[in-house]
Amino acid sequence: MGSLANIELTAGYHNLLGNFNKVSTYYFNSGIRLGHSNNKGPFSVVGIRLFNDREGKYLNRTRGYVVYSWHATLTGNLKFSAGLELGGMSYLVKGTPLSGNGSDLKSDASAGVSIYNKSFSLGLSMAQLFKSEVQPIEEITVLHPYINITSEGRFHIMENTILMPSSSIRIITNDNKISVGANLGILIRNKLFVSPGFYANYKIVIGLGIKDLLLLNGKMNILISYGFPAIRSSLNYSFCEIGVGYLL
């Protein structure tokens, strides 16, 4: 029984358009899977997650985490996973010559569990466990804990077409505010991916991508998404996102 190591890298860029075109997010994820060569025994995934949010040239928030998850078979093809990420958030505010710059760094963590197989997955997690208070200058930003409930299914409707409906529920614990989203992914010939979705803030998101492009010794996935409000508003909350994944 040998060991198996897979390396997965994901990077992306998310940018608001219209009235908020100076608000953007950069992200990078990496993970290494360590486990059994027969793919039946338990395995672990270790990695890092990085995010950088920018609002113009004055506000800069960076999050960084070390991630660990453990996966094992419950029965038959049904698997269980549990994970934990530890890190923190840095908040930098560029001030005026009179007020000066301000910054703060606070710890943060998330934890979650899921059950899954080749046909479905169901996950439950809680983020921002420490309820940290970040205060770069005067205003305090509280990282309120929130709960995520996610689900996804996979259905072969034709020989070369797979439907992948998914849903997400986010509950903000401090005011019990609930945000709901639904998405219908369509995978054609295991290459072309189309993904229309609708979210509780009345936003429609359309994704288009291609997967498993052979590149060097690995496979690359590319996804482009465009989101826009379903209800006309005086403010433009539309956005564009580009994500690239690479699996070795």
The ranges assigned to domains in the chain are 3-247
Q: Report how far apart the first and last C-alpha atoms of the chain are (Å, whole number).
A: 21
**What percentage of the chain reaches a pLDDT higher than 70?**
93
Name the average pLDDT for the chain: 90
From CA 227, how far away is CA 166, in angstroms rounded? 17
Type of residue numbered 107: S
Contact 211, 183 (CB under 8 A): no
Six-digit token string for 225 = 């998404």
The answer to which of 19-33, 74-88, 223-237 has the lowest mean pLDDT is 223-237
Six-digit token string for 47 = 């990695």
What pLDDT is attached to residue 2? Answer: 39
Query: In terms of Cα–Cα distance, which of 108, 85, 72 is closest to 31?
Result: 85
From CA 197, how far away is CA 138, in angstroms rounded? 38
Q: Is 43 exposed, middle or buried (0-12, 13-18, 19+ CB in 10 A)?
A: buried
Contact 46, 67 (CB under 8 A): yes
Six-digit token string for 174 = 């401090």
Regarding the domain with residue range 3-247, which homologous superfamily does it belong to in the CATH classification? monomeric porin ompg (2.40.160.40)
pLDDT bracket for residue 3 (50, 70, 90): very low
Q: 3-state class of 145 per DSSP? A: coil
Type of residue numbered 122: L
From CA 218, how far away is CA 76, in angstroms rounded? 30
From CA 129, how far away is CA 112, in angstroms rounded? 11
pLDDT tens digits, 171-219: 998 888 899 999 999 999 999 999 999 987 778 999 999 999 998 889 9
